[in-house]
Amino acid sequence: MLKRLLSHDYPRSRILAVALVAIAIALAFAPFLFPGSKALGVAAKMLVFILLVASYDLLLGYTGIVSFAHTMFFGIGAYGIAIASTRLGEGFAAVCIGVAAALALSLVLSLVIGLFSLRVKAIFYAMITLAVAAAFQTLASQLSDITGGEDGLTFKNPLFFSPSFEPFESEVLGLMLDGKVFSYYLLFGVAALLFLLLLRIVNSPFGRVLQAIRENDFRAEAIGYRTVVYRTLSNVLSALFATVAGALLAIWLRYTGPDTTLSFEIMLDILLIVVIGGMGTIYGAVVGSVLFVLAQNYLQDLLKVAAGALGGVPVLAQLVSPDRWLLWLGVLFVLSVYYFPAGVVGRLRLGALRRRE
């Protein structure tokens, strides 16, 4: 059963296996283990980024395609939910229509980009996707009647996912179950299911062809594979998974705007997480997302504690000031790339292989 669930793709490292199990348990029971709105919000963001980064790894790590339009599809999913909910009102029908419309639009756009741009090689394709993403972000900012412009859209979820929804009068295992908890488990269920589906895709014959194209597309073409078709399919699948991730984020936040889904900073975050976790390893999306989101949300708090402890040392206290958390985040990223050039997952797997040999 476990073999089929993981598509015969085991962690291949005891340390990695323990870490993945610990992360899975922590995310599965986060509402009960980590009380507080901030901790639950951090866990929800981890789930969204795990799915988003894993979908991008299908494109970059397994197919070798560098695209800067991934946040565009992420934003389409979020705006699909928001626009449908504001126009049709709160309810599951609006959510389903929004998701369906967003998936249809992402399918068309990714197919067009794939067919017309994937014949262009390397940096030229990356620049095309960057231009398309920038144009879409500008469009979302200017169409204020539809998208809310720079202010974005705030909407209401179905009653079942509303924070005010409390079906039980007493606590369950020390936690008052409400719509926020139910929406978290919606994120967890969908993210876990689609993550396992991505794991199945990359370990299927289709995934093997994508890896062959990544290693040598000329040889893959020579032995009979139509590389443009496979690249296009990879682009479409990656876009659809990113669209679902955007829809999940919108449901969780009950808001979407250009800064939350379409900004280039999010694209940089995705690239950083892929590099930290390890390209070409779906498990790297889990490890990288958890490490990055934890550092992004709690590094400033740790620096505040350090600054208070070093208050009597002027230079060090200023150096570890909470205002400089981005500097330390950059330092941590540089160190992770230096000591883990193949990513955390790649390094752990390589170390386990050497020990076995």
Those residues whose C-beta lies under 8 Å from the C-beta of residue 100, and which sit 6 or more positions away, are none
The rounded distance, in Å, linking the Cα atoms of 333 and 320 is 17
Rounded mean pLDDT, 86-115: 91
Structure tokens at 112: 């067009």
Decide: 26 and 170 in contact? Cβ < 8 Å.
no
**Residue/partner pairs of 290-295 with CB below 8 Å, 24 or more apart:** 290/23, 290/46, 290/50, 291/344, 292/49, 293/42, 293/45, 293/46, 293/49, 294/42, 295/329, 295/332
**Would the pLDDT of 173 be above 80?**
no
CA distance 195 to 307: 39
Percent of the chain predicted with pLDDT > 90: 44
For the whole prediction, is pTM greater than 0.75?
yes
Name the band, by pLDDT with cuts 50, 70 and 90, for residue 241. very high
Distances, alpha carbon 196 to alpha carbons 4, 241, 275, 300, in Å:
10, 12, 21, 33
Q: Which residues does residue 256 pair with via DSSP β-bridges, in sequence order?
A: 153
Average predicted confidence (pLDDT) for the chain:
88
* 3-class secondary structure, 172: strand
Residue 255 near residue 323, CB atoms below 8 Å: no
User: pLDDT-based confidence at 5, cuts 50/70/90?
Assistant: confident
Range of weakest confidence among 23-27, 55-59, 176-180:
176-180
pLDDT confidence bin for 96, thresholds 50/70/90: very high
Lowest mean pLDDT, pick from 73-87, 161-175, 225-239, 262-276:
161-175
Task: Identify the sign of the CA torsion 84, 293, 265, 275.
Answer: negative
Compute the average pLDDT of residues 44-52: 96
H-run or E-run covering 227: helix 227-253
Q: Who contacts 24 (Cβ-Cβ below 8 Å, separation ≥6)?
A: none
Element (H, E) at 75: helix 70-88
Q: Is the four-CA dihedral 91, 95, 100, 101 of positive or negative sign?
A: positive
- Tokens for 238, please give them: 């990656």
Q: Give me the pLDDT at residue 122, please.
A: 66
Q: Which fold has domain 2-28+37-356?
A: ABC transporter involved in vitamin B12 uptake, BtuC (1.10.3470)
Write down the pLDDT at residue 191: 96
Buried b (16+ CB within 10 A) or exposed e, 82-108: bbbbbeeebbeebbebbbebbbebbee
Burial of 171 (0-12, 13-18, 19+ CB in 10 A): exposed
What is the pLDDT, as a whole number, of residue 301? 82
pLDDT of residue 267: 93
Q: For 132-157, what is the mean pLDDT?
A: 89
d(CA 158, CA 143): 26
Angstrom CA distances, 307 to 4, 160, 230, 256, stand at: 49, 43, 52, 35
246 touches 103 (CB < 8 A): no
Sequence spans of domains, the chain? 2-28+37-356
Name the burial class of residue 237, with classes exposed (0-12), middle (13-18) and buried (19+) by CB atoms within 10 angstroms of its CB: buried
